Amino acid sequence: MKPSKKTSKIVSLIYLFIFSFLLVPFFSIGIGFAETSQIVPLKTYSDQCIKIISALEQYHYLGKKLDKVISANIFDRYIKSLDPGRQLLTQQDMKAISKYKYRFDRDLKKGNLVPAYDIFNLYLSRAVLRLEYFLTLVKTWESEMDFDTDDKIFIDSEDQPFQKRPEDLYPLWKNELKNHIITKKLDNQENDKISESLEKIYTNRLKRLSQTNTNDVFQIFMNSVTTSFDPHTQYFAPRVSEDFDIHMSLSLEGIGAVLQNEYEYTKVVRLIPKGPADKSHLLMPGDKIIGVGQGKDGELKDTIGERIDDVVKLIRGPKNTYVRLKIIPANKTDSTTTISIKRDKVKLEEQSAKKKVVTITQGNKNFKIGIIEIPNFYIDFAAYHRGEKDYKSTTKDVQKILFELNKEKVDGIIVDLRDNGGGSLKESNDLTGLFLKDGPTVQIKTKHRITRLYDEDPSIEYTGPLLVLINRMSASASEIFAGAIKDYNRGIIVGTKSFGKGTVQELKPLGKGKLKLTSAKFYRVSGESTQNRGVVPDLKYPQIYKIKHTGESSLDGALPWDTILKTSYNAYRSLEPVYATLLEKYQERAQHDPGMIYLMKRIGLTNHLNTQETLSLNLAKRREKLDVYTRQELENENEYRVALGKKSVESLDDDSIKLKNPKEIMMEQTHYVMVDFISIAAKLGYGW
């Protein structure tokens, strides 16, 4: 399906590419300083600061001017970026620096960065003191720490009040170190090895803090400024800008994961579809990396508190080599596991759309179901702009697949968009057109106007029953496609609520750095935004991902969901009469399906753990709790194995324990949902 000149022109003028939802700078700069000397801003930063503020006020979607409200927001974000766990600054400190809270609007427009550096230097001295205290305790913890008390620490301490005075911080620091030691003890490490490891860790951190420079401070502060407009608006200093370019080209060899800082941990934000980590089924968004080792047996280096760019360098490496990751899984809070992933490049051919055909028997009838998996929305822009007819694209590949599936006379088609983080807006529009006669597919609202993209080709590549499968990591272009199919009643949407990435970002050069800012929002043809709320499925599956830590709604300061006027489009007959019967059949089947029973128990166990607000610092209680969880997890695994006719295992470490992963279990259910959809729609007289 060739796009019209009008459509191509609109796409070229507006946004040829939707950034795969890069949530925060995946190379955030580490913070700290091991000397007492003060860090001061360079004169050139004043000019750069003025340019950044001018660009934000001129080009950001919100059209806001820097005022007292944003000034207070900058202050709060800056403090949170420096001391997210509220373990360094005190109420006394906050009282002293609060004079800056409503000054940033004036200071930044003048390029005055002194207040920001004053706050950083205050933070700095406390960060050094904390590490020096850790190093003192490391030498005496065996005799001075009692692991039989009922002390506790908060899992998420950002909501706790600041301590009153600096001397009140020492008990917090001691408990923090105590928890670190307990984690190592639960890994069965000997005391002398624990002491040796901790001394090395904190000495290295102190050394790295001494290397913090004025560039780092400027980067940290300016991102507190930019994210005060929205979390996708970021400033990339020259070195970080280079890393961003490398990331967007996907040319580096590694495991295919986007990372970010969360407190002192390195958190997995998303996995590149069909990358090594994604294919391993061992890592998932929300997991926290606390150690990295080289090779299958390499020593694990503790990465808690490490600069994220240093962690990324440890994880990257030549293809066909292994990297070991020690992680705190997203579905756990106080236990760790170690995984091994083989490095490789994310191959273009593996990112392409692929098909599969399955036959499902229901009653005395066989149903042939076509499945199209689309990892992202890709296009060879260079070939496209050169006018080449055979340029590589999602739409061209899916068009070919649909031709083949039509020849095979499938009864229905499933489009799998799970974990598809987006890509080309042009491809999202063109792909939608393969399933519709014609009409608008998405609305794009900037500060000044609303434009629309259209499918202007009346031909339809596939006219039969259609199901679109989404999950929490389906974002941006995926949500545009799913939203259009839903609004046109062209098919049913199944899965979990999508990510909610409904904004557009543009890169603007600023000197040697770059400013990525939000310049527009997407809206469905119905007028509903995809922002924040995402696309809600017609039939909902259990949520695997932890909502609190994934999706647009989890981002501090995310732009809200809203609506604009619906545009004119010709929808098919409403599918509402299908949903009730479809849900009833799904729920009845899920109650007896071994995979769904296993999955629901696993989710229930995870949800129970996630309700915890504190961690005990009693070693025996922690070990007992870990044993109970491990036993429950093993029981669940064995119940599933027995239901499938396989032998039980004695340990979760057993190599033979790998069965179907959650995505496979969900897909099996989707096969039957598709069959139900075909049958119910036929009885109700639907025809496509």
Pair (539, 406) in one structural domain: yes
Confidence band for 659, pLDDT divided at 50, 70 and 90: low
**Which of 572, 602, 634 is where one domain is finished?**
572
pTM for the structure as a whole: 0.85
Among 247, 182, 280, smallest CA distance to 24 is for: 247
Question: Using the 8-state DSSP alphabet, how is residue 417 labeled?
Answer: -
Q: Are residues 436 and 318 both part of a single domain?
A: no
Residue 656: the pLDDT is: 56
Residue 250 pLDDT: 35
Instruction: State mean pLDDT over 636-646.
Output: 91
45 is in which domain, residue-wise? 31-211
Domain co-membership, 546 together with 645: no
pLDDT higher than 90, residue 571: yes
Decide which of 161, 189, 211 is a domain's last residue: 211
Are 579 and 676 within one domain? yes
Q: Is the pLDDT of residue 421 over 60?
A: yes
The model's pLDDT over 172-220, given as tens digits with 9 standing for 90+, comes to 999 999 999 999 999 889 999 999 999 998 998 898 888 889 999 999 9
Q: For residues 532-560, b (16+ Cβ closer than 10 Å) or e, as one string?
A: bbbbebbbebeebbbeebbbbbbbeebbe
What is the average pLDDT value for the chain, to the nearest integer?
A: 87
Q: Judging by DSSP bridges, how do beta strands 492-495 and 539-540 pair with one another?
A: parallel
Q: Mutual orientation of helices 594-610 and 662-683 as an angle, nearest 10°?
A: 120
pLDDT on residue 316: 86
Do residues 478 and 470 make contact, with C-beta atoms less than 8 angstroms apart?
A: yes
Per-residue confidence band for 26, with pLDDT thresholds at 50, 70 and 90:
very low
Domain assignment of residue 224, yes or no: no
pLDDT of res. 597 = 94
Number of domains in the chain: 4
Catalytic residue among 501, 516, 521, 546, which? Answer: 501
Q: Does an H or E element contain 551, and which?
A: none
Whether residue 34 is predicted with pLDDT greater than 50 in this model: the reply is: no
pLDDT in tens, 577-632: 999 999 999 999 999 999 999 999 988 888 887 778 889 999 999 999 989 988 99
Supply the CATH number for residue 354's domain. Answer: 3.90.226.10
Between 93 and 7, residue with greater pLDDT: 93
In terms of domains, do 387 and 492 share one?
yes
Domain membership of residue 367 (yes or no) is yes
458: left (phi over 0), alpha (psi -120 to 50) or beta: alpha
Residue 227 lies in a domain: no
pLDDT value of position 258: 80
State residue 410's pLDDT score: 97
pLDDT tens, 669-681? 999 999 999 999 9
Structural domain contains residue 244:
no
pLDDT of residue 247: 41
pLDDT for the residue 9: 38
Q: List pLDDT tens digits, range 281-322.
A: 888 888 889 889 898 888 888 888 777 778 888 888 888 899
Identify whether residues 645 and 656 lie together within a single domain.
yes
Would you say 425 and 18 are in contact if contact means Cβ atoms under 8 Å apart? yes
Scanning the structure block, which residue is given the tokens 């202050």? 75
* pLDDT of amino acid 348: 59
Regarding whether 491 and 405 lie in a shared domain, the answer is yes
Region 332-349: mean pLDDT is 76
Which one of 334, 455, 487, 676 is the catalytic residue?
Answer: 487
**What pLDDT band is residue 262 in, cutting at 50, 70 and 90?**
confident
Within this chain, do residues 370 and 491 fall inside the same structural domain, yes or no? yes
501 is annotated as an active-site residue: yes
Q: Is the pLDDT of residue 488 over 60?
A: yes
**Alpha helices of 414-512 — where are they, by DSSP H?**
425-433, 477-487
The answer to whether residue 330 scores a pLDDT higher than 80 is no
Give, for 178, the enclosing helix (H) or strand (E): helix 169-186
Is 221 contained in some domain? no
Would 182 be classed as within a structural domain? yes
Residue 8 catalytic?
Answer: no
pLDDT for residue 17 is more than 70: no
Domain assignment present for 519: no
Q: What is the pLDDT of residue 519?
A: 95
Instruction: Report the percent of the chain where pLDDT is more than 70.
Output: 90
> Which listed residue (476, 478, 498, 616) is catalytic?
476
Quick check: is 246 in a domain? no
For residues 683 and 536, state if they share a domain.
no
Q: Are residues 538 and 590 in the same domain?
A: no
- Same domain? For 454 and 564 the reply is yes
What's the pLDDT band for 381 if we cut at 50, 70, 90?
Answer: confident
95 is catalytic: no
Q: Is the domain of 593 the same as that of 665?
A: yes
Average of pLDDT values for 66-81? 96
Question: CA–CA distance from 210 to each of 31, 32, 124, 206 (Å)?
Answer: 10, 7, 10, 7
